[in-house]
Structure 1
Amino acid sequence: MEELVTQITSYLRGMWRYRWWGMALAWIVGVVAGLVIYQMPDKYESSARVYVDTQSVLRPLMAGLAVQPNIDQQIAMLSRTLISRPNVEKLINMADLDLGVNTSEEREALITRLSRDLRIGSSDRNNLFMLSYADTRPERAQRVVQSLLSLFVESGLGGKRQDADAARRFIEEQIQTYEQKLTEAENRVKEFRLRNMGVLGDGARDYVSQIGALTVQLQQAQLELREAINGRDALQRQLVGEEPVLLPQMPSQSGVAVPELDGRIDTLRRSLDELLLRYTDKHPDVTGTRRLIEELEVQKRTQVEAMQASGGSQFGALDANPYFQQMKLALAQADSRAASLNARVAEFQSRLDQLRDQARLVPEIEAELAQLNRDYAVHKTNYDALVARRESANIAVEMNTQTGVADFRVIDPPTLATKPSAPNRLLLIPVAGLAGLLAGFALTFLISQLRPAVVDPRGLRDVTGLPVLGTVSMLATPERTSARRRGLLAFGAGLFAYAGMVAAAVVALQLIQG
């Protein structure tokens, strides 16, 4: 600490030797700074206060029906981004600031100066904004603030309308896109259903229950077929043990009659008539009965030809036993029933095989249909959501059109300043005086470092590197003491005069301004 004090003392002694240089520079800097401050042009500030009311009675009532953005946040962001180059250029045209601008350089300088000097202050609590601008002409400053206020209100309303229009256009484009996707998905589902209509049916078919029911019907038909075959075989065995009795038989109108075959043919034809009443021509029972009739007719023609060849055309080999005739008829009926049941069994078996083949395809088809339905459901959900958002956006736009985004209330209109707001000469003059003193102090320190001198034994020892054995002090004579006193008085008078000059300048400015 002692070394630091000693070093500071050494610096001050060295600076004291060049105090008059510092005094001269202080006076020069002070006077020049005072003249510059006095010559600075006056600036008149115009300001306006505007309150943005973002509360609306309709907004709580429309909650959930209309899109309600954060108006407070949007207004705050607007206040921070209002001073942009496009807005400043628009402001220049609105305030007629470009009347004296002739070159592009001057216009760029004007834009830069306005961007720097325009001020927008806000209070985040109550949405109260302060717009201000300072200019050398008070009426121009007022005109700029008025234009800035109009631009602030227009940007708040127009920007929101543009955002709403852009949002609606985007939603409309998305709706059209999803309409196309939805149509394509519907067409894919329709085409898939048409291709697999036989398997899908009406969507409510149960192949397991159908296969079970058809299996029961097949088993029942097979049982009936076995019963019919067994009955026919029993009749055939009974007919084998009977001895037919041939009686003369008159020929029929159509030729030689074969009673056995004619009876079977008549029985089958009656059965065919009954089947045609219940089924179509392509039914298996009908086709089987017709095939059996054709076979019997062929057999009859063969026997007739044989009888004609043997000369027995006038007598038929008719068995005279009535019981035998009944058994023959019963055998024909049994043959017809067996053929009908055989056709039914074949039809049931074919249906069962077809159902089993379709049942094996059902899981794959259902999985593909589920995928198509899932894609359709996703597109349908997005489409419905977009339509709902479009309606919400339309309601929001109508609500904003009726009530407005926010209510801009001008608390204080732009003022016309009568007194300059800048520069603050009463503050700048003392600052200039202090700056002169600091400049003089810095000059004396710089000269003392450029032209150093030894002022104490320690400094001499540090410079020479030799030990100092002693010092010889200078005797203070009356003449030297008197000269030193006069120097101190002169330096003090200079400082006092400098301070008085600064004070006089401040008082003069107060009198001029006040």
Structure 2
Amino acid sequence: MSEIFDELRAALWTVWHRRWMAIAIAWGVCLLGWLVIAMIPNAYESKARVYVDVEDVLSKQLGIAGDGKEEITRVRQTLSSAKNLEKVITATRLGEGITERGALDAAISELEKKVKVTSEQDNLFEITAEIGRSNLSEAENAVLARDVVQKLLDILREEHVAGNRAGIAQAITDLERQLDGRKRELEEAEQRRLTFEAEYPDLVGGSASLSSKVQQSRADLRAVDADLAAAESALAAISGQLANTPRTIIGGRDATGPRAALQQAQTQLAELRSRGLTDNHPDVVSTTKQVQILARQAAAAGEDAGGTPNPAWSSLMAIRTERQANVEALQARRAALQSDFAALMASQASEPAVAAEANRISRDYDVLRENYEKLLQDREALRTRGQVESKASQFRFDVIQDPTVPRKPAAPNRPLLLLGILIVGLGAGTATAWGLGQLKSSFATPQKLEREFDLPVIGSISLTISEAARTLEKKRLKQFAGACGGLVGIFVILVAIEIVSVGTIA
């Protein structure tokens, strides 16, 4: 710890011993630095805040509203583009004296660093321009900063409102050109499809359509088989009832004769069968035998059948005729379906190459038709959107804060720069004095001499000065303090001037 303290004392003695050199260097660095700062022109900043409203009721109702976030991103990225900055330069005093392209590109590059477009919220962003040119006065720089921001706002209105409509018109033109090409391709594909369908009608729609036809034919055939089975069952049932129903009804006095008993037995037998009893059932067997016996008795009795027609038999006969016709129709339908199914199966099995060609033609036609319809819908939507924006733009730009002429410079921060130069000057003088001291072969303390040569120091002799030398030293000390105070005083004066001069633009 004592060694560090000794080194610090030695460094301070070295600097103090060469204090006049240090203060002279500090004065030189400070005066030069303050002069450079004084030559830096003030930069004035103007800003504007813009709100972009992308919600349009009519466009949303029509289903043609665009993506607002994408539009705001596009505005923020393209507003400070080189093309727009070139318009700003040519429309303001920034373009004075620029006649060559190289000078214009340099001005654009410089202005790009001075212009900022920042987003504060989703729909709110800020346009800032900082201008400080040495060939212009303070007031002119402030007005120029305002003009730059105002021109950017004008470009915003022109490019992204009117320009949006021009973009829609160009998009419609491009879509119409694509539609013409797609229309020709679609007509050619449709002609190929019609030619193929005329040659192979079974393969209309491709092999996928053929497979669906086979499946549909198989399903229709199964449905007809089920209907035919039900119709045949119903015909058999009505035929059984008709066989057990007499054609005539015996009337007159002899209501108890053999024929009347035969009719009653036949009716009873028909009732048993209608209940679903089989011929092996005991009741059916006994009733059948009774009918046979009564039939022989009626035949032996010789009674004529001169009775009245039986209406039940006539009704059953009409139903049987209708059901017979239904069965015959279903049989004809089944035969036709079997023929069609066999033809489809033969086409599917014997023409694989033709089926593949049918698939390709059908697929190409469907793709072209879908693309054409989509392009057609897009064109109509763009036309509707263009008509809407002719009445009112989809995007509304509200200027929340208009650009104004700034009263105070935004840069540079002169008080801070002045303080920095003062610190740098004092540091440069101190470092120079210490560095020169290190080049000398003298030693500030006995301890340092002893450490350097590794030899014991017997003693040291203190410096003794006379009264006249002491008086001279005090005088020089006052002069040094005056030099330091003068440097600090100049710094204070410059800072005060800067503070007072800020905000004096009329």
- Normalized against structure 1, the TM-score is what? 0.60
Give, as a single letter, the amino acid of the residue that structure 1 aligns with 2:496. V
Contact between 2:43 and 2:130, CA under 8 Å: does it hold in 1?
A: no
Equivalence map 1:75-90=2 (5 Å): 75-90=72-87
Contact between 2:183 and 2:372, CA under 8 Å: does it hold in 1?
A: yes
Alignment match of 2:89 (pick from 89, 92, 104): 92
Whole-Å Cα distance in 1 between the matches of residues 97 and 124 of structure 2?
36
- Number of the residue aligned with 2:23: 23
- Coordinate RMSD, CA, aligned: 4.1
Query: Is 1:114 equivalent to 2:111 in the alignment?
Result: yes
Whole-Å Cα distance in 2 between the matches of residues 3 and 383 of structure 1?
92
| Cα gap change, 1:452 to 1:183, in 2 (>3 Å) | farther
Cα shift readout 1:304-338 (whole Å, capped 9, x = no counterpart): xxxxxxxxxxxxxxxxxxxxxxxxxxxxxxxxxxx
Report the alpha carbon displacement of residue 85 of structure 1 after superposing the two structures with TM. 2.4
Whole-Å Cα distance in 1 between the matches of residues 146 and 355 of structure 2?
77
The answer to which of 110-119 and 449-458 deviates more is: 449-458
- Number of the residue aligned with 1:152: 156
Report the alpha carbon displacement of residue 25 of structure 1 after superposing the two structures with TM. 1.4
Whole-Å Cα distance in 1 between the matches of residues 351 and 22 of structure 2?
107
Equivalence map 1:45-444=2 (5 Å): 45-62=45-62, 65-69=63-67, 71-95=68-92, 97-104=94-101, 106-135=103-132, 136=136, 137=140, 138-197=142-201, 360-362=349-351, 364-417=353-406, 420-444=409-433
| Cα gap change, 1:403 to 1:458, in 2 (>3 Å) | farther
Query: Is 1:474 equivalent to 2:462 in the alignment?
Result: yes
Cα shift readout 1:16-64 (whole Å, capped 9, x = no counterpart): 33222121111122223333433444444444333322233334433xx
Whole-Å Cα distance in 2 between the matches of residues 354 and 47 of structure 1?
82
Whole-Å Cα distance in 1 between the matches of residues 180 and 344 of structure 2?
43
Contact between 1:160 and 1:405, CA under 8 Å: does it hold in 2?
A: no
Q: Which runs of 5+ in 2 are unaligned?
A: 222-341
State the percentage of identical aligned residues: 27
Cα shift readout 1:105-140 (whole Å, capped 9, x = no counterpart): 544443333233234343124514233342431443
Contact between 1:14 and 1:453, CA under 8 Å: does it hold in 2?
A: no
The answer to which of 355-364 and 398-407 deviates more is: 355-364
Contact between 1:27 and 1:436, CA under 8 Å: does it hold in 2?
A: yes
Whole-Å Cα distance in 2 between the matches of residues 113 and 355 of structure 1?
78
The answer to which of 128-137 and 84-93 deviates more is: 128-137
Contact between 2:64 and 2:385, CA under 8 Å: does it hold in 1?
A: yes
Whole-Å Cα distance in 2 between the matches of residues 501 and 198 of structure 1?
106
Cα shift readout 1:376-397 (whole Å, capped 9, x = no counterpart): 2222223323323333333333
Contact between 2:47 and 2:126, CA under 8 Å: does it hold in 1?
A: no
Give, as a single letter, the amino acid of the residue that structure 2 aligns with 1:448. G
Whole-Å Cα distance in 1 between the matches of residues 11 and 131 of structure 2?
46
Task: Decide which structure has the larger Cα Rg and report it.
Answer: 1
Contact between 1:53 and 1:127, CA under 8 Å: does it hold in 2?
A: no
Contact between 1:30 and 1:432, CA under 8 Å: does it hold in 2?
A: yes
Whole-Å Cα distance in 1 between the matches of residues 9 and 75 of structure 2?
59
Report the alpha carbon displacement of residue 161 of structure 1 after superposing the two structures with TM. 3.5
Whole-Å Cα distance in 1 between the matches of residues 346 and 162 of structure 2?
68
Secondary structure of the corresponding residue to residue 101 of structure 1: coil
- Number of the residue aligned with 2:242: none
Report the alpha carbon displacement of residue 150 of structure 1 after superposing the two structures with TM. 0.8
Whole-Å Cα distance in 2 between the matches of residues 355 and 94 of structure 1?
78
Whole-Å Cα distance in 2 between the matches of residues 508 and 47 of structure 1?
27
Give, as a single letter, the amino acid of the residue that structure 1 aligns with 2:111. L
| Cα gap change, 1:493 to 1:180, in 2 (>3 Å) | same
Whole-Å Cα distance in 1 between the matches of residues 426 and 372 of structure 2?
78
Cα shift readout 1:260-283 (whole Å, capped 9, x = no counterpart): xxxxxxxxxxxxxxxxxxxxxxxx
Whole-Å Cα distance in 1 between the matches of residues 499 and 149 of structure 2?
29
Report the alpha carbon displacement of residue 499 of structure 1 after superposing the two structures with TM. 1.4
Whole-Å Cα distance in 2 between the matches of residues 393 and 472 of structure 1?
100
| Cα gap change, 1:361 to 1:104, in 2 (>3 Å) | closer
Cα shift readout 1:58-101 (whole Å, capped 9, x = no counterpart): 34433xx32522x2343234223322322222222222543433
Whole-Å Cα distance in 1 between the matches of residues 424 and 389 of structure 2?
58
Whole-Å Cα distance in 1 between the matches of residues 119 and 344 of structure 2?
80
| Cα gap change, 1:463 to 1:74, in 2 (>3 Å) | farther
Whole-Å Cα distance in 2 between the matches of residues 57 and 427 of structure 1?
53
Cα shift readout 1:215-239 (whole Å, capped 9, x = no counterpart): xxxxxxxxxxxxxxxxxxxxxxxxx
- Number of the residue aligned with 1:35: 35
- Number of the residue aligned with 2:493: 504
Secondary structure of the corresponding residue to residue 117 of structure 2: strand
Secondary structure of the corresponding residue to residue 415 of structure 1: coil
| Cα gap change, 1:448 to 1:456, in 2 (>3 Å) | same
Contact between 2:203 and 2:355, CA under 8 Å: does it hold in 1?
A: no
- Number of the residue aligned with 2:268: none
Give, as a single letter, the amino acid of the residue that structure 1 aligns with 2:445. D
Give, as a single letter, the amino acid of the residue that structure 2 aligns with 1:446. G
Contact between 2:44 and 2:408, CA under 8 Å: does it hold in 1?
A: yes
Give, as a single letter, the amino acid of the residue that structure 1 aligns with 2:53. D
Whole-Å Cα distance in 1 between the matches of residues 358 and 50 of structure 2?
63
| Cα gap change, 1:357 to 1:388, in 2 (>3 Å) | closer
Secondary structure of the corresponding residue to residue 51 of structure 1: strand
| Cα gap change, 1:17 to 1:163, in 2 (>3 Å) | farther
